[in-house]
Each structure stands twice: as structure tokens, then as C-alpha cells.
Amino acid sequence: MPMPHRTYKQVIKRRLVGKEGTERIRELRTILAELPGYKNGPYADLRKWVEGELEETRLRKRVVHRDSIAVRREGAAQIAFVGAPNAGKSSLLQALSNVQIKTGDYAFTTTRPVPALTRIRGVLVQLVEIPGLIEGAHEDRGGGRALLGVLRGADAIVLCHDATTPLEELDVIKRELVAAGIDLPSLVVATKTDEAPAPPGTVGVSVLDDASLDRFRVEIWRLTGLMRVFVRRPGEEESEPLALHPPASVADVARTIHQELEQECTGARVWGDSAQFPGQRVGRTHAVADGDTIEVLVG
């Protein structure tokens, strides 16, 4: 004699409490297998209800996982832009690169991370707008866990604050970062400084002011912690900037140019701060300095 169907529904609901995703799907399948297989009547309705739950859970799982939100890394560093809706994140990315991003006066114009490549001091840096980080994100509100996952993989964070609003608005996001255990180098940029002044301790910027954008670029560069060396191919005048994390040796430079070059590299000729005289011949372990020009020697 099966349990009265009303009681059964309560039991099912209790079995589902706190279960989400794969776990909930597994439980629902088990329940379906246990349900008496009546074609009509209250048990048929109950079966339909469980099947509905299963379908909804599958849908939620897909949305929450946001399988496609991962951002492929490009460039020498990845900088994540976070902030309240309308803080001006998309506008900044657009002003600093040449991507077309939806901007707007309404919340959540962008719903997934948007990458944009920009060149700073000759080096490609990837900027990523992280939209929709809301209170409770670390508990997965608004698909927050996936968004925080993207953020965790970044090298540094730009916290975007709309200068026309109270600075406290950033506290929600700062708290979410702390709750998620994300502790990356960061800076606060105050946007829309054509409308209101930047608060102390922030980098002011307006997309209408090119000089402010240039100053912002310098700050982003500082945030990456990278240094540049200029690589000169033997016999060539031109050199191209290469970004590296200090401290870096000649061998590190070689590896950054090409994996195999590290093995072949026997040393280098160096011009710049790390050289005692221009064109000094140094070994593989020689520490290079920011701004050096390096000619890698092989064989």
C-alpha cells in the first residue's frame, strides 16, 4: 500500500531541501523510480510534478554553470573590471580598446564577461568586464560563483566607481571579493569625472577626456606588475617590447620569445640599466632590468 500521495509530496520536498544541480537531479531520478506507476490520478500528477522539477533543475544547472562564460586569456596580463551596473565599465573598455560593447543607462546591459584587448606601452593587455556581481555572489546569487571564478583567474582587478554616486557603493563588491577569498592587486577608478570629482585615493577618469584615459593606462600598467625589455634580433635596428614579471633573467627572456630558445640561449648582449656598458656580453642567469634592450645569443 503506497503512502498517501499528499504525504508523499511532502516527503519528496523534504528530500530535495538543500540539493541543487547534479545532486538534485540524481535524487529526482531516484524518486521517479520509486513512484508507483499509476497512469491516472494523484500519483500520475505527482509523477508529472517530479518530472517538471527535473526539467527545471536541468535548466537551472545549465544557466548557473554558464558554461560559455570562461574567457580565453590573451596578451601579457588579464585585468578584470568590476563595479555596480552603470559604473561605466563597458564605456571604459570601449574607450581603451576598439571593441564595441553595449553600454546603457539601464542595469545589466552586459550579462557575461566581455574581453577587450588593449595595447599599453606597446604590450597587449586583456581587459575583461565582469558584469552583474551582486550581493550574495559568493553564494552563487546571480550566477555569481562562475563570475567570481573568472575574476579569480585574473591577474589584477580594477574596481569601477561612478564618481556621481557615494563611494560606499563599492563596499558590496569588496565584501563579495573578501567572502570569495579573492585577493588580487587592485585599484579604484572613479568614472565620469566630467560630471563629478574623483574621491581621494582613486584614479579619476572620463571617457570624454583622453588625457585621463592615458593616465589610467599608466595605472593599469603599474597594476600588472610587468616590466618591459626590448628584444633586438641580431643585425636589426628595430626592437619589440616583451613583457615579463620581475625578477627575470636572460634565460627567462629567451623562453618568453620561444620555448625552445631557452635551451639554445647561451647569453645575451645588453643595453640599458642592467648593463655596465652598452652592449655588454652577459650570461644566461644575468638579471635584466625594466627598459633593457636584449640581443639573445645562441650556440
Ligand X SMILES: Nc1nc2c(ncn2[C@@H]2O[C@H](COP(=O)(O)OP(=O)(O)O)[C@@H](O)[C@H]2O)c(=O)[nH]1
Q: Does 90 bind Mg ion (CB under 5 A)?
A: yes
Distance between CA atoms of residues 130 and 215, nearest Å: 22
Span 136-175, contacts to Mg ion by CB under 5 A: none
The alpha carbon of residue 235 and the mean position of all alpha carbons in its chain are separated, in whole angstroms, by 40
Binding partner at 195 among Mg ion, ligand X, none, C-beta below 5 to 8 Å by kind: ligand X
- Outline where 123-271 has alpha helix (H): 144-152, 169-179, 210-224, 250-257, 261-264
Count of chain residues binding ligand X (CB under 6 A): 20
Which residue matches cell numbers 552563487?
A: 140
Q: Does 57 bind ligand X (CB under 6 A)?
A: no
Distance between CA atoms of residues 163 and 172, nearest Å: 16
Q: Does 87 bind ligand X (CB under 6 A)?
A: yes
Span 177-236, contacts to ligand X by CB under 6 A: 191-192, 194-195, 206-208
Span 92-111, contacts to ligand X by CB under 6 A: 103-105, 109-110
- Outline where 17-88 has alpha helix (H): 21-34, 42-65
Distance between CA atoms of residues 13 and 7, nearest Å: 10
Binding partner at 244 among Mg ion, ligand X, none, C-beta below 5 to 8 Å by kind: none
Q: Does 193 bind Mg ion (CB under 5 A)?
A: no
Interface with ligand X by CB under 6 A: which range of 84-92, 136-144, 239-247, 253-261?
84-92
Q: What does DSSP assign to residue 67?
A: G
Quick one: which of 57, 78, 94, 110 contacts Mg ion (CB under 5 A)?
110
Residue of 99, 101, 117 whose CA lies nearest to 109: 101
Distance between CA atoms of residues 177 and 164, nearest Å: 23
Q: Minimal distance in Å, beta carbon 154 to Mg ion?
A: 17
- Give 118 or 191: the residue with its C-beta nearer to ligand X: 191
Distance between CA atoms of residues 250 and 231, nearest Å: 11
Distance between CA atoms of residues 101 and 116, nearest Å: 9
- Give 88 or 267: the residue with its C-beta nearer to ligand X: 88
Q: Does 90 bind ligand X (CB under 6 A)?
A: yes
- Give 89 or 232: the residue with its C-beta nearer to Mg ion: 89
Interface with ligand X by CB under 6 A: which range of 79-87, 116-124, 246-254, 291-299?
79-87
On the CB side of 249, CA atoms within 13 Å amount to 10
Structural contact between residues 74 and 124, judged by C-beta atoms closer than 8 angstroms: yes
Q: Minimal distance in Å, beta carbon 165 to ligand X?
A: 11
Residues that bind ligand X (CB under 6 A): 83, 85-91, 103-105, 109-110, 191-192, 194-195, 206-208
Residues that bind Mg ion (CB under 5 A): 89-90, 109-110
